[in-house]
Amino acid sequence: MSEPARRRLVFAVLAAALPLALLSALSLGSVPLSPLGVIGSAAARAGLGAPAPLGDVGEVILWSVRLPRVLIAALVGGGLAVVGASLQSLFRNPLADAGLLGVGPGAALGAVIAVNLGWAQERFLALPLSACAGALLALLLIYALAHAGGRPSLSGLLLTGLAVSAVAAAGTSVLLVATEEFRVRTVLFWLAGGLEGRGFEHAALAAAFVLPGVAALFLLSRPLDVLSLGEEEAAALSLPVHAVRIVVFGLCALVAGPVTAVAGSIPFVGLIAPHALRGLVGPLGRHLLPASFLAGAILVVVADLAARSFGQYVELPLGSVTAFVGAPYFVLALRGQEGRE
């Protein structure tokens, strides 16, 4: 199959799979709703067909409980996948990922600082914004440390990420001990990563950051492609290398910070989605980034469905589900890359 034909096929499959995943996630759960009823209820909201086909309880579950949660899952997954793909172009390494690069721990530290100082309770946007700041600081720190001795190797990058993540995690622990008890549970809950009890205000918050951030990263597709050729070649092609890097870092933090603030840390999504797609749609940003958004959204919607379908009374943390799937994938991918180096 020629590459354009394969690419069209992949986009068709992803575009079909996302609504299917959303519909499944809206229908399945402790109270099952019929998929046709879900579609009917959506049609009724749009002014078509009889109102409230799911009954009063069903309607509340669908519109107040499941829909915001599923929307957040899609935004979180899509956002993390696009951030992963962008960072991979930037670091010119297919295994760079927001989680491995300390973005998650950095964002978590920022969020815990906001909770500890009481900002999060006073102002609605304080938590996501300080998560953004934490993510950005972690990225800049890793970038500066890893590039101190020239172009970083994969191991240099991962180890630097590990070190910065460890420091951020340690800071988070210290702050947790110092945080008043009634706030600690909120933080712990949230650090594990999950979407339980998230409502429309969280969905709106995620959308307000993720959608513009992702759109801006889409617009930077071509500069990211040029940058992936190497610093010198990019500069010789008139790309303002450092400015582009700083802007991309800022946008990645803008997306990953609020995502972490809303959903906690969801590891490996930014790694798996772009990694699996690069071979299918090629490495050019204008194909890889949109495809990663769709695949990441599908991945987290399905992972969240799995997290809440696992037991009858207990929900698995979403972050654990993606880690259980993602970590083995990462090990295999790492082995593949080492084999080529």
Partner 1 sequence: MSGLVEARGLHVARGRREVLRGVDLALSAGEALALVGPNAAGKSTLVRALAGLLPATQGEVRLDGRPIGSWPRPLVARRVALVAADDEAPARLRVEDRVALGRYPHRGPLAAFTAEDRAAVARALRLTQIEHLARRALGTLSAGERQLALLARGLAQEPALLLLDEPAAHLDVRHQLHLFHVLDEVRRSGVAVLAVVHDLQRAAWAPRMALLDRGRIATEGPPAQVLESAAAAQAFGITIRGVTPGDGGERLWRFEER
How far is Cα 74 from Cα 58, in angstroms, rounded to an integer? 22
Specify the 3-state DSSP secondary structure of 223: helix
Q: Which stretch binds partner 1 (CB under 8 A): 44-52, 127-135, 274-282, 319-327?
A: 274-282
Per CB under 8 A, does 145 bind partner 1?
no
Query: Which of 49, 170, 215, 222 forms a contact with partner 1 (CB under 8 A)?
Result: 222
Query: Which of 2, 155, 181, 314 forms a contact with partner 1 (CB under 8 A)?
Result: 2
Per CB under 8 A, does 122 bind partner 1?
no
Sign of CA dihedral 139, 142, 147, 152: negative
Judging by beta carbons within 10 Å of its beta carbon (0-12, 13-18, 19+), is residue 264 exposed, middle or buried?
Answer: buried
How far is Cα 146 from Cα 151, in angstroms, rounded to an integer? 8
Query: Which of 60, 204, 236, 332 forms a contact with partner 1 (CB under 8 A)?
Result: 236
Q: In this structure, are residues 250 and 46 in contact, taking their beta carbons and an 8 Å threshold?
A: no
Per CB under 8 A, does 340 bind partner 1?
yes
Per CB under 8 A, does 335 bind partner 1?
no
Distance in Å from the first CA to the final CA of the chain: 28
Helix axes 241-263, 200-219, angle to 10 degrees: 160
Judging by beta carbons within 10 Å of its beta carbon (0-12, 13-18, 19+), is residue 312 exposed, middle or buried?
Answer: exposed
CB atoms within 10 A of CB 2: 7
52 or 229: CB nearest partner 1 = 229
1 or 48: CB nearest partner 1 = 1
Cα atoms in the 13 Å half-sphere on the side-chain side of 119: 13
Site string for partner 1, 73-102 (x = CB under 8 A): -------------------x----------
Query: Which of 220, 254, 266, 302 forms a contact with partner 1 (CB under 8 A)?
Result: 220
Per CB under 8 A, does 9 bind partner 1?
no
Q: Which stretch binds partner 1 (CB under 8 A): 24-32, 75-83, 266-274, 280-288?
A: 280-288
Smallest gap from Cβ 154 to partner 1, in A, equals 14
Per CB under 8 A, does 238 bind partner 1?
yes
Per CB under 8 A, does 237 bind partner 1?
yes
Per CB under 8 A, does 226 bind partner 1?
yes
Please provide the DSSP assignment of 78-113 as one string: HHHHHHHHHHHHHHT-TT--TTTTTHHHHHHHHHHH
Per CB under 8 A, does 197 bind partner 1?
no
How far is Cα 132 from Cα 273, in angstroms, rounded to an integer? 22
Smallest gap from Cβ 17 to partner 1, in A, equals 23
How far is Cα 144 from Cα 132, in angstroms, rounded to an integer? 18
DSSP tag of 317: P
Q: Which stretch binds partner 1 (CB under 8 A): 139-147, 156-164, 175-183, 229-237?
A: 229-237
57 or 219: CB nearest partner 1 = 219
Contact residues toward partner 1 (CB under 8 A) are 2-3, 92, 219-220, 222-223, 225-226, 228-230, 232-233, 235-240, 278-279, 282-284, 340
